[in-house]
A and B are shown apart, each in its own frame.
Chain A
Amino acid sequence: MIRLFARALLASTLALSPIAVSAHEAGAKPAHGAEAHAPAGPVVTLGDLEISGAFTRATLPNAPVGGGFLTITNKGAAADRLVSATAPIAKETQIHEMALEGDVMKMRQLTDGIEIAAGETVTLAPGGLHIMFMGLNTALVEGEKVPVTLTFEKAGTITIDLAIGAAAAAKSMGH
């Protein structure tokens, strides 16, 4: 049972920290396939980009962070880049990559964002690329939605809803 509890976090305003843009190979990481169980969001189009399967996960009690996951397909002839993400649910939102090195999980901020090459699809998924919500000012509750604003180098800015799935691995918790 997920125990809901009062959070004494100060309601913080959007921290719109611009993330540096420069040429850098971010590369797509393969998805883990866990998103198969995630709530399916609608497909949203922004210029040449198609954004789909956007979700986040319910937070555990006291969890001050969360991850945002989605798939971006570039149908255009030129590469684009996800340069920043912001969300009212967190003090700060960053673009991160995590990777297992041996048996050690390492997480790094991608200050240059994520490139989506022409004709390519990049998936942000558990265990790999993700949008990192830091300093959550609210608990994320399964079944609800939270907005996140994505800014792309060429396609511009769009606000989409992330469906909130189960707490972990986008798997049913089997209560």
Chain B
Amino acid sequence: MAKPLSRLRLVLWVVVAAFAVTATGLYLFGATRPTEAAGIGHGDYVLTTADGQNFTRKNFNGHPSALFFGFTHCPDVCPTTLAEMTAWKAALGDDGKDLKAYFITVDPERDTPEIIGDYVAWTDFVTGLTGTPEEIAKATKAWAAFAEKVPLENGDYTMDHTASVFLLNRDGEFEGTIAFRENTDTAIGKLQKLIKG
């Protein structure tokens, strides 16, 4: 009796060990895969350009991009960043000829396509994007950008928002960021690297 039981025990331990190895392997495999499946910026959001055209993640494909989340009731960061993006483009010269830039509003309730379009038009470079609050929420979530309404005393509100510029390669994949007020040379260096791929 004792012998068959210990053999059974041995077999069971082998099964447990095999299961553990398989589970670990599956876990490690799984842990590396999902980042690719749900990368930064991936999602089925449908935004709207100033002309009323749909804009989806696919529109980032085929050219390097700089992407910023802002709003028109923004006193400082947004005008500054728009001006800086435009200055980077100018400084890049020919190298930056297929670089595109996008300004996605985090305040879709106030920033209509027309308003956002006029707000960025002076740059002759940056594309303004808005959308329904639901689609904007999907886009900010996809980009892991922060946006939160902050009520003011007078019943008005302002927005807290991510102030970094996101960089996307020609496949529309996230490559890095440029911080708010980052040194101009550093910013241009990052863009040159992005453009060269």
- Physical interaction between A and B: yes
Which residues in A have some Cβ–Cβ distance to B below 8 Å?
A: 1-3, 5, 17, 32, 57, 59-67, 92, 94, 96, 98, 100, 103-109, 111, 126-127, 130, 132-135, 167-169, 171, 173-174
Can you name 4 extra interface pairs (CB under 8 A) apart from A103-B163, A127-B181? A108-B150, A127-B77, A134-B154, A169-B181
Residue pair A167, B83 in contact (C-beta under 8 Å): yes
| Number of A-B residue pairs at CB separation under 8 A | 108
Any A CB within 8 A of the CB of B124: yes
Contact assessment for A66 and B75 in the assembled complex, using a CB-CB cutoff below 8 Å: yes
Q: Which residue of chain B has the shortest Cβ distance to A125 in the bound complex?
A: B76
Q: Is B141 an interface residue (CB 8 A)?
A: no
B154 close to A60 (CB less than 8 A): no
A67 vs B80: C-alpha distance in the bound complex, in angstroms? 12
Complex CA gap A148/B124 in Å reads 33
The answer to whether B79 and A104 touch across the interface, beta carbons within 8 angstroms, is: no
Residues of B within 8 A of A107 (CB): 75, 150, 158, 160
B122 touches A61 (CB 8 A): yes
Q: How far is the CA of A175 from the CA of B158 in the complex (A)?
A: 30
From B152, B160, B179, B181, A106 is in contact (CB under 8 Å) with: B160
Q: Which of A61, A62, A66 has the largest count of B CB atoms less than 10 A from its CB?
A: A62
Identify which of B72, B80, B124 contacts A169 (C-beta below 8 A).
B80
- List residues of chain A with CB within 8 A of the CB of B124: 1
- Distance (whole angstroms) from the CB of B68 to the closest CB of chain A: 11
- Cβ-based interface call for B87 (8 A): yes
User: Interface-forming stretch among B39-47, B113-121, B189-197?
Assistant: B113-121
User: Please, how many residues of chain B have a CB less than 8 angstroms from a CB on the other chain?
Assistant: 36
What is the CA–CA distance of A133 and B180 in the complex, to the nearest angstrom? Answer: 22
Whether B164 is near chain A, meaning CB under 8 Å from some CB there, is yes
B153 and A65: CB pair below 8 A?
no
Asked if A94 and B152 sit within 8 Å, CB to CB, the answer is yes
What separation, in Å, do the CA atoms of A64 and B158 have in the docked complex? 12
Task: List 23 A–B pairs whose Cβ atoms lie within 8 Å, in order of A's numbering.
Answer: A32-B181, A61-B118, A61-B119, A62-B115, A62-B118, A94-B152, A100-B163, A103-B180, A106-B150, A107-B150, A108-B150, A126-B76, A127-B76, A134-B152, A134-B154, A135-B156, A168-B84, A169-B79, A169-B80, A169-B83, A169-B181, A171-B83, A173-B86
B contacts, CB < 8 Å to A = 72-77, 79-80, 82-84, 86-87, 90, 115, 118-119, 121-122, 124, 146, 150, 152-154, 156, 158, 160-164, 177, 179-181
Nearest CB in chain A to that of B119: its residue: A62
List residues of chain A with CB within 8 A of the CB of B72. Answer: 60, 62-64
- Note all chain A residues with C-beta closer than 8 A to B156: 92, 134-135
A167 touches B79 (CB 8 A): yes
Q: CB distance B121 to A3 under 8 Å?
A: yes
Are A173 and B83 CB-contacts (below 8 A) given A1-B122, A100-B180, A107-B160?
yes
The 3 closest A-B pairs by CB, nearest first: A168-B83, A105-B163, A168-B79
Q: Which residues of A contact B75 (CB under 8 A)?
A: 65-67, 96, 98, 107, 130, 132-133
Residue picked from B82, B115, B152, most chain A C-beta under 10 Å: B152
Across the interface, which residues of B come within 8 angstroms of A111, CB to CB? 153
A103 and B164 within 8 A (CB): yes
